[in-house]
Amino acid sequence: MRVLSTLVVATLVLTLAPDLAWAAEGGGSSGWGIALGAGLAMGLAGLGCGLGQGFATSGAVQGIARNPGAAGTIQTPMIIGLALIESISLYGFVIAILLWNLIS
Amino acid sequence: MSHPLHLFHMLEPYLPMTLATMLACLGVTLLVAFSVNRGLQSSDGVIPEGRLTLRNLLELMLEGMVSLARQTIGPDWPRWMPLIGTIGFFILVSNLMGLVPGLANPTSFIETNLAWACLAFGAFNYAGFHKHGWGYIKHFLGPVPWLAPLMFPLEVIQSLARVLSLTVRLTANMFADHTLVAVFLGFPVISLFVPWLVMGLGLFVAILQAFIFAFLTMIYIGLALEEAH
């Protein structure tokens, strides 16, 4: 009797499981993964860029604080460095745009 | 990428927009170059005018770039200055063209930027081969001889990645500016104030990115010209 009830429960579970997975997925659309990837791409790229530019600006401002006469000399490499770090976040933006075009 | 109504979009069936904007930028550049040259050809052409003219502005920019070229390229800089100056000035004019309503930006298309990046790639490889001959390959082999099979593919990929990074940096900066303005124009109240700031940022980014492209080309040429490790 126990074997029969176990067999009945197992058959029910195995039949209904794919149905539950399908319902959890939201009806069978596969676009949500791509959209999540696009959002994460830009978000993580922005995180890295923000930290990098923060370090660059902090180093430059500390240098100016130690030696205010060298402000012009420090400012030029700081601007160049900020533009180069900015380009990393723009690579993430390009990936996000490519993924977004893939959905729509 | 939806374009607003402007002149180059209307020429679309006859002339593709990449070509039309590029020709317009070329026209502006040649106009500026010839007008400045005419000032130099007159009898007292060496003496600059006392006020702010186009020629004085260009001489200011050129002087800054020459001092940077002297630091990065070294004593060989007059050979490379025409190329770097052309790259910098053309990209500056085309970036600024993108900020004017009604005109489009040649450098917001990836084809134009890929062409300029391939030109810079050809320039620094030519510099290396011209100065070192086949010894230029030693640049790619790394510091120690037994690491050479590992270092050579990595260095080749680094050279190709320089092309990619130059292209994507310029295209994405120019494209992102337009996208940002378009996004802010969608909201009712914010669209009265924020696009001004975004256009100001766009002006700064336009000038800076033109300078960065020319400066990176200078650095790559300087790196190819110096001795190997």
Whether A30 shows a pLDDT value over 80: the answer reads: no
Write the pLDDT tens digit of every residue in B74-109. 888 899 999 999 999 999 999 998 888 778 888 888
Is A13 domain-assigned?
A: no
Whether B44 shows a pLDDT value over 70: the answer reads: no
Q: Hey, what amino acid is at B69?
A: A
Residues contacting residue A57 through CB under 8 Å, at least 6 positions apart:
A78, A82
Write the pLDDT tens digit of every residue in A54-75. 999 999 999 999 999 988 889 8
Range of the domain at A69: 29-103
Residue of B4, B146, B127, B3 lying closest to B73 (CA atoms): B127
Q: How confident is the model at residue B1 (pLDDT cuts 50, 70, 90)?
A: very low
Q: How confident is the model at residue B188 (pLDDT cuts 50, 70, 90)?
A: confident
> Looking at the 3D structure of chain A, how many domains does it have?
1
Whether A27 shows a pLDDT value over 50: the answer reads: no
Please check whether residue B182 touches A, CB under 8 A.
Answer: no
CB contact under 8 A, A80 and B212: yes
Is A20 domain-assigned?
A: no
Q: Report the CATH number that the domain containing residue A36 is assigned in CATH.
A: 1.20.20.10
* Residue from B166, B212, B213, B219 to probe the interface with A (highest A Cβ count within 10 Å): B212
CB contact under 8 A, B165 and A87: yes
Q: Give the per-residue pLDDT at B5.
A: 52
Task: State the Cα–Cα distance between residues A37 and B228, nearest whole angstrom.
Answer: 42
Is A80 domain-assigned?
A: yes
Task: State the Cα–Cα distance between residues A93 and A96, nearest whole angstrom.
Answer: 5
Please check whether residue B219 touches A, CB under 8 A.
Answer: no
Is A6 domain-assigned?
A: no
Q: Give the per-residue pLDDT at B45.
A: 63
Q: Give the per-residue pLDDT at B88.
A: 92
Residue B110: exposure state from Cβ atoms within 10 A (0-12, 13-18, ≥19): middle
Is A11 domain-assigned?
A: no
The ranges assigned to domains in chain B are: 7-225
CB contact under 8 A, B173 and A86: yes
User: Are B148 and B141 within 8 A, CB to CB?
Assistant: yes
Alpha helix stretches (DSSP H) within B100-147: 110-132
Write the pLDDT tens digit of every residue in B114-133. 999 999 999 999 999 988 88
Q: Give the per-residue pLDDT at A28.
A: 42
CA distance B23 to chain A (A): 27
Nearest by CB to A79, which of B165, B172, B208? B208
